[in-house]
Structure 1
Amino acid sequence: MINNQFQNQIMNEDELRDLIGEPSERAINKVITHLDNNCKQFIALSPFLMMATSNSNGKCDNSPRGDAPGFVHMIDKEMLIIPERPGNKRLDSIINILSNPQIGLVFLIPGLEETLRINGQAMVIKDEKILETMSVNGKAPQIGIAVKVEECFLHCAKAFKRSKLWDNDTWPNKNSLPRAATILKAHANLQGISEEKIEEDLKESYSKRLY
């Protein structure tokens, strides 16, 4: 038990199916095991994806990746490569992949409410000739994440319709949004460093170290 404060937990798949039911034939049959032309078009138009990984102990991580549409390179119908751009060097996803190659990707296209889900096996590569083709502003990524596709399918739009994510009339006022500098100062317990300094460092990183 993760937490015993809940008195009515579902404990197995049979109990879950009795409550929720079985998926439709279309939901089962929509899964393919390769990148067809529809998937390739979706990926080519996507500037953003979410990457789910876990380590050998099952500890999970979900990390965003984004760049200009087409930043994910498709080698063939079974293999794609995600360039690893400069970050904060935590490398959570990369380290997970080294101990557990299973990976899950969700591709988004702005304004489109359906998403594309890909599950497969990943490896960390440093092939210079391949990575050079992903250069931006003359800078090639040092490493990339190669993914062998095992499952590929379209995810319905219900989550986006419920959340109205692409409807900017529902977006909160910018003045009410959380401030990254405030959160970082509180969470990292950075003594003697002001929010203003943190915000200045973030702006410098965003403007000079994207690639």
Structure 2
Amino acid sequence: MFKGSGEEFLQEKYKTEKRAKAFYKNQMLSYLNETMQEFIEAQEMMFVSTSDSNGKCDSSFRAGDTGFVRVINENMVMYPEYRGNGVMASMGNMMENPHIGLMFIDFFHSRNGLHVNGKAFIYENKELDTLQLTKKMRDDIRLKEGGKAERWIVIEVEEAFIHCSKHVPKLQKATKLHSGNNKGGDFFKVKESKKEVEFNR
């Protein structure tokens, strides 16, 4: 069994200590600087990573109107949870293990990304008053979210660092939605697969 963190072990093994130290020193913060805050407030989507108390991982996608992830201050952000499939996978993990990773990527302009790691807490709508939100933010939430947000996830920031644009594709927004069913439904034909398994038993 190795001593120290897995990062440190592999940096030594693969001789990347010098590059890693430069990255920690020049690219990583324990808070969100002004440029990072502006980047988050300009995004329409992000990826969320969580794990349960046994370390079993889950990744999920979140999206909304521009600025749906709101920066409370340099140490705290929040995002709305909308009506979903009812499984509560991400929030269930948060109940067991509060550690969370957010990944924002600007696919349309800079192609840079931002990692935000920290601890997540579930807030009901009625509990938002306990947060130090500005009047402008409260009004913005009331105007843009209305009754859409069923609850909120508040993250205490512990790490923030860049994901460089290398290998990130540049995308172009569609001018209109494609016709047909865009909601997904049983897109992967799971019901059909389960019937086949039952039939073959």
Q: Please report the TM-score for the alignment, with normalisation by the length of structure 2.
A: 0.72
Alignment partners' CA distance in 1, 2:20 and 2:40:
26
The residue that corresponds to 1:27 in the other structure is 23
Kept in 1: contact 2:11–2:20 (CA 8 A): no
Q: 1:154 to 1:94 in 2, by over 3 A?
A: same
Equivalence for 1:166:
171
Alpha-carbon offset, residue 167 of structure 1: 7.1
1:1-211 map, 5 Å: 14=9, 17-19=12-14, 21-22=16-17, 23-29=19-25, 30-111=27-108, 112-128=110-126, 130=128, 134-135=141-142, 136=144, 138-160=146-168, 164-166=169-171, 180=184, 183-186=187-190, 189=193
Give, in whole Å, the separation in 2 of the partners of 1:80 and 1:125.
12
Q: Check the 8 A contact 2:33/2:74 in 1, yes or no.
A: yes
CA distance in 2, matches of 1:35, 1:105: 13
Letter in 1 for 2:57: C
Q: Which has the higher contact order (CA 8 A, sep 6+)?
A: 2
Contact 1:47 1:109 (C-alpha < 8 Å) held by counterparts: no
* CA distance 1:114–1:187, shift in 2 (3 Å): farther
- How many residues get paired? 169
Secondary structure, counterpart of 1:159 in structure 2: coil
Secondary structure class of the residue paired with 2:73? coil
Name the SS for the 1:184 alignment partner: coil
Once the 2 structures are TM-superposed, how far is the Cα of residue 130 of structure 1 from its aligned partner?
A: 3.2
Residue 158 of structure 1 aligns to a residue whose secondary structure is coil
Identity %: 27
Q: CA RMSD in A?
A: 3.0
Bigger mean CA offset, 113-122 vs 11-20: 11-20
SS at match of 2:23: helix
Cα deviation code 1:124-183 (max 9, x no counterpart): 1114263975354632412111000000111111131xxx35379xxxxx9xxxxx5674
Q: CA deviation at 1:13?
A: 5.7
1:13 to 1:28, Cα distance in 2 relative to 1, 3 A: closer
Cα separation, partners in 2 of 1:144 and 1:25, compared to 1, 3 Å: same
Q: 1:56-85, CA deviations, whole angstroms, 9 ceiling, x for partnerless residues?
A: 010100100011111011111111111001
> For 1:12 and 1:74, how far apart are their aligned partners in 2?
29
Q: Give the SS at the match of 1:97.
A: helix
TM-score when normalising by structure 1: 0.69
Deviation at 1:109, TM superposition (A): 2.1
Query: 2:147 is matched by which residue type in structure 1?
Result: K
Distance 1:44 1:64 in 2: 17
The answer for unaligned runs of 5 or more in structure 1 is 1-10, 169-173, 175-179, 192-211
Q: 1:139 is paired with a residue of what secondary structure?
A: coil
Please tell me whether the aligned partners of residues 47 and 69 of structure 1 are also in contact (alpha carbons under 8 angstroms).
yes
